[in-house]
Amino acid sequence: MNGLLDSTGAVLDRFGDLDGRMAVLALLLHVGNHLLRSLAWRNVLAAAYPGTRMPLSGVVSAYALGVALNALLPARGGDAVKIAVIRTRVASSSVTTIASTMSVVVLFDLVAATVLVLAVVLTGSLPLAPELSLTGAPIWIGAAVLLAAVIGVAGRRLRRRLALLWAQVRQGGAILRSPARYASRVAAVQAGAWLCRIGVVTCLLAAFGLEASPLVAAMVMILCGVSTLVPLTPGGAGTQQVMLAYALSQTATAAAVVSFSVGMQAGITAVNALLGVAGAMVAFRTLRPGDAMRSALRLARS
């Protein structure tokens, strides 16, 4: 019992030494990440619906609200709210097309995340298993063949519906058919958002007195992402702390790493919640935060 109290006390003591200036800089970079990602999504939406006015404020509010609700709702229910809010703003829009625009944004994220993982792994900061077992390969191959056969049969019967669905998907990815426009209005903007994300983690590492470098920040981002792949707890709480304590054990004490991880997770969640409430107030045109969030939750359940 005394050991547990001592450990808890050591973690709490680290918060007393927090560098407030670096924490504020992390806050500003986090807001910048929100704005840049919203701008990239707005540009994809504008390409999908060229005849429709697409105010940035509406997309920012939908994005902020969705991010906040993803921390509360299962199966990334906040993403469904993003789609629903945008659909109310864009006449004659479809769920499929709006979801496709989100996939365009995720496409760059997949590339950026892959580059980040390779950079960290190649430096030896995040060792991977030396070999992967292929004993399950025949099962996966058989499942893939069966799935292809089912899709083939269903495709013949549902050809018209699939054709409509594909047309809506193509509409959502319209900006990809203009590489120069995609590079300048989406990829470049998202690259800036990723730099903001790395900056947030770097600043928070420095704020808690830990080794602060882009490489360490990248490793932290990867482990935080892995901890939320299987959501055993909201936001990967607990799992994230254990993984980071193990990965950073060579350069910092467990108390220092846990205080940093808890502080980062709680701080980002709190900021996302505040931005989400503000976004809900804009989206539902009300000055009452409670009414705005109730409207958002009703939309999520519908």
- Dmax (CA) of the chain: 69
- Per-residue tokens: 39: 């701008």
Q: Among residues 184, 221, 183, 226, which one has the least CA distance to residue 199?
A: 221
**pTM metric for this prediction:** 0.81
- What burial class does residue 220 get, using C-beta atoms within 10 Å of its C-beta: 0-12 exposed, 13-18 middle, 19+ buried? buried
- pLDDT computed for residue 200 by the predictor: 96
Tens digit of each residue's pLDDT, the chain (302 residues)? 444 344 454 555 566 678 889 999 999 999 999 999 999 999 999 999 998 999 999 999 999 999 999 888 776 788 999 999 999 888 888 999 999 999 999 999 999 988 888 888 787 765 444 443 444 444 445 555 555 555 565 555 566 666 777 788 899 999 999 999 999 999 999 999 999 999 999 999 999 988 888 888 988 888 877 656 554 444 555 566 666 776 676 777 777 888 888 888 889 999 999 999 999 999 999 999 999 999 988 887 77
Residue 139: the pLDDT is: 46
Whole-angstrom distance, CA of residue 138 vs CA of residue 266: 44
Q: String of b and e for 227-260 (b: at least 16 CB within 10 Å)? A: bbeeeeeebbbebbbebbbebbeeebebbbbbbb
- Looking at residue 246, what is its pLDDT? 66
Q: What pLDDT does 275 receive?
A: 96
Phi-psi region of 231 (alpha: psi -120 to 50; beta: other; left: phi over 0): beta
- pLDDT reported for residue 77: 83
What are the Cα distances from residue 227, in Å, to 22, 118, 235, 276?
25, 18, 8, 23
pLDDT of residue 252: 75
Helices 20-48, 188-207: crossing angle, 10 deg rounding: 160
Closest by CA to 48, choosing from 111, 99, 108, is 99
What are 176's two structure tokens? Answer: 């990809």
**88, 95, 92, 93: which is closest to 65 by C-alpha?**
88
Q: Based on C-alpha coordinates, what's the Rg of the chain?
A: 22
**CA dist 107 → 146, 172, 271 (Å):** 27, 13, 26
Question: Which pLDDT belongs to residue 18?
Answer: 85
